[in-house]
Amino acid sequence: MGLKPRLSERGAQRLRIWLLLAPALSVIVVLFLGGLVSGFLRSLNYFPLIGLNDPNLDAYRSIFGDDTFVDSFILTFYIAFVSTFIASVLAVAAAVLLRPAFRGKRFVQFLFSLNLTVPHLVGAIGVLYLFSQSGLLSRLTAAGGLTDAPSDFPALVADPWAIGIIIQYVWKEVPFIGVIVLAILLSVGEDYESVARSLGASRWQAFRNVTLPLIMPGVVSASIIVFAFTFGAFEIPFLLGRTTPAALPVLAFRSYTNVDLAARPEAMAMAMVITFLSTLLVWAYLSLTKRYVRT
């Protein structure tokens, strides 16, 4: 007698869980998976509504045969990798700087987290007005006698090395990763480090072998989000980047909004490549760093 009601009780519990999840899952399945599937079919030139009934790989062949796409891919990967790396290193340094108690810490922390909520677009415009060849920094070097004309100032916006884009990402993501690392540092405390120091470890050794492994999981999970974002972001390279090669999302958007509708399957193919690569890169990054996290 005791068994049957308990089983049904567990069934009711499971039903309740899935009912709680149902609205969220439906939205994500319909919008997210629906969008991906629709894009995938379109990338295969399959669109029965306008009489395209035979799926093929023409769009993929076309984009991979095109140097523009390959250059864009390399550029996008480079931007995402360099930005994430620099932002992570600076964020750890910033968190270490901000860890101890000092006077005015609340105010310093508020300024540090200020641009967490500043939209990327605003940061990009700020970088534009600050680092362009007629921007504020260029005017300062002119006043200091270092440059005579805008063209003497190095091109940091729409430049071949995407420096403006990287500066913007680093600017925006240092506080993001930094706040997460700082929270871990504060919750761990300084005890482990003091023990290592009293046992004769140098400052660097204590940091490298005690503190770093403790904060690494946080750094990794935050930098995965940053990597995926910088790989797929649109408005920053759209504003601060060159026309060719353009970042992948910019290239996909341009070919989607091309007046020639025949370019749309190619845009969809690029979207699929972006999706696949960002998933793959996140997975690779995870499995690479997992080893490091454990040591």
Would you mind telling me the total number of residues written for the chain in this entry? Answer: 295
Query: Which 3 state secondary structure label does DSSP give 43?
Result: helix
User: Which residues fall within 8 angstroms of residue 82, CB to CB, at 6 or more apart?
Assistant: 166
191-250 positions binding other proteins, by CB under 8 A: 218, 221-222, 224-226, 228-229, 231-235, 239, 249
**Least distance to other proteins from the beta carbon of 4, Å?**
21
Query: Tokens at residue 294, please?
Result: 């454990």
Stretch that binds other proteins, among 22-30, 62-70, 189-197, 204-212 (CB under 8 A): 22-30
* From candidates 12, 57, 183, 284, binder to other proteins by CB under 8 A: 183
**Least distance to other proteins from the beta carbon of 42, Å?**
6
> In one letter, which amino acid is 121?
L
CA–CA dist 289, 48 (Å, integer): 44
User: Which residues fall within 8 angstroms of residue 40, CB to CB, at 6 or more apart?
Assistant: 268, 272
Number of residues engaging other proteins in binding (CB under 8 A) = 99
Q: Which is nearer to other proteins, 129 or 292 (CB)?
A: 129
Q: Does 290 bind other proteins (CB under 8 A)?
A: no
Which string of x and - marks every residue 26-65 that binds other proteins (by CB under 8 A)?
Answer: -xxx-xx-xxxxxxx-x------x----------------
CA–CA dist 60, 175 (Å, integer): 39
Which string of x and - marks every residue 149-168 that binds other proteins (by CB under 8 A)?
Answer: -x-----------------x
88-147 positions binding other proteins, by CB under 8 A: 93-94, 97-98, 100, 102, 108, 110-123, 125-130, 134-136, 138-140, 142-143
Q: Does 253 bind other proteins (CB under 8 A)?
A: yes
Contact yes or no for 230/24 (Cβ under 8 A): no
**Least distance to other proteins from the beta carbon of 69, Å?**
15
**Least distance to other proteins from the beta carbon of 196, Å?**
18
* From candidates 9, 12, 21, 56, binder to other proteins by CB under 8 A: 21
Instruction: Specify burial of residue 170 (Cβ count, 10 A radius: 0-12, 13-18, 19+).
Output: buried
Q: Convert 72-139 into a string of H (helix), E (strand) and C (coil).
A: HHHHHHHHHHHHHHHHHHHHHHHHHHHCCCCCCHHHHHHHHHHHHCCCHHHHHHHHHHHHCCCCHHHH
